[in-house]
Amino acid sequence: MTQNTKLGCLYGIGVGPGDPDLITLKALKALQKAPVICVPQAANRRDSYALSIVKDYVTPEQEILRAPFPTDDAEGAARVWREAAKLVIERLEKGQDVAFLTEGDPMLFSTFSYVLAGVQEMCPQAPIEIIPGVSSVMAAAASSGAPLVTHGQRLAILPAAYGLEDLSQATDKFDTVVLMKVSPKIDETLADLKKLGLTGQSTYVRRVSTDREKVIKDVTKITPEDMDYFSLLIVKNDSAGNYAKEN
C-alpha cells in the first residue's frame, strides 16, 4: 500500500429483504456515497439479488465490483472468498470506500461474513463500518401478520440443514422456530411437521416484501411453483416448554 494514501472504508450494508423502501436511511447514504459497490456474484447467476434491490439508487459513476461467489466446495470456497476480499482490499488501498451489499442483514447468514473475515485478516488496519438491515425473518413475520415472539418467549433460527430429530427438539424448546431457505427440503420438512403435529401452526413465506411475495398459511397447499431460493417457514409451537422446567 502507498503510505501516503488513506485507506478507504469497507461498508457492510444490509439492503433489506427485497422491497427497495425497506433499506434504511443510513444504508442508502453510505451506498450513494461509495465510489465502489461490491456484490457477491455466483458464476451461474445472471445478477446479484442485493444489487437488484437497490438498482434505482446506483449511478453510472459508481463502479460495480462483482466478487466471485464460491460453489459449495468447502475447501475451494475459502480460496474464492479470499480472492474476493483481495479485490476489496485493492480498492481500499487506493483510498476508495467500498460498499459491500447484502440482502437482509449483513450479520445473519450473509456472504459479507466471509469477505469481512478476509479483510480483517489480510488488512487489519482497514476501517470497517457495518450497517444492519431488515432481515427476511422479521419481514416474513410482518407479512404473516403474526408476531415472531412476544414477551418471555424463545426464538430459534435454523439454516436449511435439519432433520426430524433436529426439528422436534427445536420446536419442543422454542415457541417459534424459523427454518431458512427451506425450498430444497420442503417435502421432507412438511412430512416432519406433520409427524410433529405442527402443520397447522406453520406459515411459508417466499420472496418477502417483493412483488413475488407469497404467504401460505395452509402449508398443505404449497405447490412446486411456490418454491424459491428465498423462502422460509415460521413454525409456532404453543405447547413449547422451557429448557429448564423449574424456571
Site for a second copy, rule CB under 8 A:
12, 14, 16-17, 19-26, 28-29, 105-110, 112-114, 116, 120, 128, 130-135, 138-139, 141-143, 145-159, 161-166, 169-170, 173-174, 209, 242-244, 246-247
The angle at the Cα of 66, spanning 132 to 119, to the nearest 5 degrees, equals 60
C-alpha span between 98 and 152 (Å, rounded): 40
Amino acid residing at 59:
T
* C-beta closer to a second copy: residue 150 or 223: 150
C-alpha span between 84 and 2 (Å, rounded): 21
How many other C-beta atoms are found inside a 10 Å radius of the C-beta of residue 89? Answer: 21
* C-beta closer to a second copy: residue 49 or 162: 162
Considering the complex, what minimum distance in angstroms separates the CB of residue 166 from a second copy? Answer: 4
Considering the complex, what minimum distance in angstroms separates the CB of residue 4 from a second copy? Answer: 27
* C-beta closer to a second copy: residue 94 or 144: 144
* CA-based nearest residue to 62, from 110, 20, 30: 30
Considering the complex, what minimum distance in angstroms separates the CB of residue 223 from a second copy? Answer: 26
Considering the complex, what minimum distance in angstroms separates the CB of residue 209 from a second copy? Answer: 8
* C-beta closer to a second copy: residue 152 or 224: 152
- Rg of the chain on CA atoms, in Å: 20
Considering the complex, what minimum distance in angstroms separates the CB of residue 174 from a second copy? Answer: 7
Task: Report helix, strand or coil for 40.
Answer: strand
* CA-based nearest residue to 36, from 102, 96, 101, 83: 96
C-alpha span between 212 and 29 (Å, rounded): 27
Terminal CA-CA length for the chain: 56
Considering the complex, what minimum distance in angstroms separates the CB of residue 2 from a second copy? Answer: 26
How many other C-beta atoms are found inside a 10 Å radius of the C-beta of residue 132? Answer: 16
